[in-house]
Structure 1
């Protein structure tokens, strides 16, 4: 891949996200194996045609996912994968259809648990994220709107009070963030779906399992 081609591809997403995805793909394919040292910052900057801050942010993303580890004074190395790391890498290379299927399964599951287990603190988090979603959508702030949308659903996942389920949802949300930033070019769909999200919160607060599940199903089918 030439530098020019790399730059053209990267510009479709955030620089750091694309660099991280490319490196994860190379790790998955065996270009870099467990224990291997990744190229240095200057080498990565030259390869991707980006600045130091983008490279550092990409490495940080990989570290947070447990894909690599940074050894001070020595460099960045491919980490020994845990089961969760494997899931993260597979999600990072999944297509939109696969991510949508995972999202549909998880969204229904977390809503069902949140209806029974939500606390007042959980409700306030959901309400605050949903309000930010509305404000950012109306202002046309796409990235902020997408972030607020995912934070709303993450708040529901946390309200399920199942740490494993919440961690799995967070992992999926990380990859949905990149995908949403790629496929959406405006906030109209978020404005149109605000009502259904508000209904969902209302049903969760009321403990109305039947309508909460029905509304969650509608939301995951919305464009």
Structure 2
């Protein structure tokens, strides 16, 4: 008899799947605000960390959009699962190559189209990146790094590039957790990230792309 492989899902993935189903059924309509964490915790009988992990997963998959200080909003009824699966099969070199091509184009466009809000989001993420790197909080440091680059993607003015980056960022996050053991690489590259934001702010495309290339290639 052929043995079938059963993929076990975490509790956060189960909750994410349940929320995703509610979105598709229209229980959580597009542009509506998701219930607050305490209400979701009660509804699904899970802890705060599980809810946060589920929302993070759905945000990265394109279903939700988290607005700091305002809440979490339903963005669309379909996600990026097919692309996720394809990226998951790729090796490090493939992901690295795609990241470089995608991110350099995003940064080039962000240097032209950045907004005041986009620059503010970048600054907040960079401040958190430095804080968590200095305190040695690896998980939050990686999240802040991804938030910084996601803010750049948000500022590029191309929704497709932004969606592609948000999907890829999940796998970049996994890559970071595999190759880095502490926050020291983030401390080393903090100044270069700050210079990158300044170049984007000044609409200096050439300098922004050069700095981004150095960051990606760890130079």
Q: TM-score, normalised on structure 2? A: 0.67
Q: Name the counterpart of 2:46.
A: none
Q: Name the counterpart of 1:26.
A: none
Aligned with residue 197 of structure 1, among 165, 172, 193:
193
Q: Superposition pairs for residues 212-223 of structure 1, below 5 Å?
A: 212-222=208-218
Cα deviation for residue 55 of structure 1 reads 2.3
Cα deviation for residue 97 of structure 1 reads 1.2
Structure 1 CA distance, aligned partners of 2:213 and 2:206? 11
Cα deviation for residue 181 of structure 1 reads 1.3
Deviations 1:40-94 (CA, angstroms, capped at 9, x unpaired): xxxx4xxxxxxxxx7221334567899xx99xxxxxxxxxxx8943221011222
Q: Name the counterpart of 1:90.
A: 86
Cα deviation for residue 199 of structure 1 reads 0.6
Mean Cα displacement is larger for which, 138-147 or 87-96? 87-96
Q: Name the counterpart of 1:18.
A: none
Q: Name the counterpart of 1:73.
A: none
Q: TM-score, normalised on structure 1? A: 0.66
- How many residue pairs get aligned? The number is 162
Deviations 1:163-188 (CA, angstroms, capped at 9, x unpaired): 11100000000111122112210111
Structure 2 CA distance, aligned partners of 1:148 and 1:211? 23
Q: Residue 181 and residue 62 in structure 1: after superposition, are their counterparts in 2 closer, same or farther (change >3 A)?
A: farther
Structure 2 CA distance, aligned partners of 1:83 and 1:134? 31
Mean Cα displacement is larger for which, 57-66 or 148-157? 57-66
Deviations 1:80-121 (CA, angstroms, capped at 9, x unpaired): xx8943221011222111111111111101101101100100
Structure 2 CA distance, aligned partners of 1:137 and 1:159? 25
Q: Residue 213 and residue 144 in structure 1: after superposition, are their counterparts in 2 closer, same or farther (change >3 A)?
A: same
RMSD: 2.7
Unpaired segments ≥5 residues, structure 2: 26-77
Structure 2 CA distance, aligned partners of 1:65 and 1:83? 9
Structure 2 CA distance, aligned partners of 1:172 and 1:103? 7
